[in-house]
């Protein structure tokens, strides 16, 4: 089965930016989002605590939606929907 729980037909691209320092997680996420169509989703995994501020500011300015932002086992996980 693919997709998110409750949304079996929605595919999510995953970008693992673990170990990268700011601003690289955000830059790689921007590149990945540029390849997506409107409405598609990108899950980003980062280990840099500064990425929390960066992703919030980026989505506020870009119009993309930050659907999820959480910390889990030392990783910061973001789910972004392309505008």
Would you name the residues annotated as active-site residues?
A: 22
Buried b (16+ CB within 10 A) or exposed e, 46-63: bebeebeebbeebbeeee
Distance CA 10, CA 82 (A): 13
């Amino acid at each position: 089965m693919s997709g998110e729980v409750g949304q079996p037909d929605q595919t999510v691209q995953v970008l693992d930016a673990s170990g990268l320092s700011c601003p690289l997680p955000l830059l790689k996420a921007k590149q990945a989002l540029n390849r997506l169509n409107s409405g598609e989703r990108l899950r980003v995994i980062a280990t840099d605590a500064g990425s929390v501020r960066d992703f919030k500011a980026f989505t506020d300015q870009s119009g993309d939606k930050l659907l999820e932002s959480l910390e889990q086992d030392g990783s910061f996980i973001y789910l972004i929907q392309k505008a």
